[in-house]
Amino acid sequence: MIARLKKTGETFGQAWVACLLTMVQGDLTVLTLYHAQVAAKTGLLTAIAYFACSFFTHLDNKWANAKVVGILTFAADISIHPTHFGSAWTEAIVTGIGAGILAIILHKFKKNDN
């Protein structure tokens, strides 16, 4: 259970960072507390969904994990706030891809907890 909660926290961070960076389109000079709050909502919704999914799926494979993180982040982002660029789905797709990429990158730096 501890490992599941740890991974859920990591998922929150991946979704939060991806959402934050995508909302400001990479321009860190325009970051505000509002952006951090909206990104935290996206991260929290993603983390809750990830925790629920962890009971029904095997997420130890880095590719499967990245796919789930990306899809859940996409769904959370599109439900939390409107897009800041492109069509209605564009920002959510970019955010989901970003979270999935972060999941893959961070997998490389983790110690094997098993």
Distance of CA 91 to the CA centre of its chain: 13
Closest CA to 73 of 46, 47, 91, 93: 46
Q: What pLDDT score was predicted for residue 85?
A: 81
The structure tokens listed for 41 are 């909502």
Does 45 reside within a domain? yes
Q: Range of 92's domain?
A: 2-109
pLDDT of amino acid 111: 58
From first to last of its 114 residues, what are the pLDDT tens digits of the chain? Answer: 888 899 999 999 999 999 999 999 888 999 999 999 999 999 999 999 999 998 888 777 889 999 999 999 999 999 998 887 888 889 999 999 999 999 999 887 775 544
If you write DSSP's letter for every residue of 18-81 in order, what string do you get?
Answer: HHHHHHTTT-GGG--HHHHHHHHHHHHHHHHHHHHHTTTS---SHHHHHHHHHHHHHHHHHHHS
Q: What is the pLDDT of residue 44?
A: 97
15 within 8 A of 76, measured Cβ to Cβ: yes
Query: What's the gap between Cα 15 and its chain centre?
Result: 2
Count the domains in the chain: 1
Residue 114 forms part of a structural domain: no
89 DSSP assignment? T
